[in-house]
């Protein structure tokens, strides 16, 4: 059984609190049971798909995919942003992406990382 990496779990908890109406409680309980079914590395991030225990209560989410979380990974502080995908109340995928060039030989799942932090997008002025 493959579990979420420390980075994936850390960002997923912050994301769960952002996208759910109960402060993330239901999603966090689900994430504790996550079994990874696949990972795809894109060169600028990754997708992690997983299954959770569907005997647990579903979450009520405001948006999916959703969340605005950022962390810096590895010795050169490669910046990653994250989103959580939820379907029918159950977490199913984390997306990590960057607007920077590729991360090189950093192992994104085992490298040290900064504490994931929520961020807001800058306001866009409509004219």
pLDDT in the model for residue 121: 54
Please report the pLDDT score of residue 124 as a whole number: 53
Q: Which two tokens stand for residue 65?
A: 């995919």
Mean pLDDT computed over every residue of the chain: 90
Give residue 127's pLDDT band: very low, low, confident or very high (50, 70, 90). low
Which tens digits make up the pLDDT trace of 74-113?
988 999 999 999 999 999 999 999 988 888 888 988 999 9
Q: What is the mean pLDDT of residues 39-63?
A: 93
Q: What is the pTM of this model?
A: 0.88
Pairwise CA distance, residues 8 & 31, whole Å = 10
pLDDT digits (tens, 9 = 90+) for 65-76: 888 899 999 988
DSSP 118: E
């Amino acid at each position: 059984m493959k579990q979420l990496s420390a980075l994936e779990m850390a960002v997923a908890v912050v994301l769960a609190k952002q996208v759910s109406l109960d402060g993330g409680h239901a999603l966090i309980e689900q994430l504790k049971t996550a079994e990874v079914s696949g990972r795809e590395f894109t060169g600028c991030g990754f997708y992690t798909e997983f299954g959770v225990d569907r005997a647990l209560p579903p979450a009520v989410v405001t948006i999916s995919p959703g969340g605005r979380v950022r962390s810096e990974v590895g010795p050169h502080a490669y910046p990653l942003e994250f989103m959580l995908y939820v379907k029918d109340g159950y977490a199913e995928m984390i997306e990590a992406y960057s607007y920077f060039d590729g991360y090189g030989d950093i192992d994104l799942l085992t490298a040290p990382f900064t504490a994931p932090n929520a961020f807001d997008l800058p306001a866009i002025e409509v004219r």
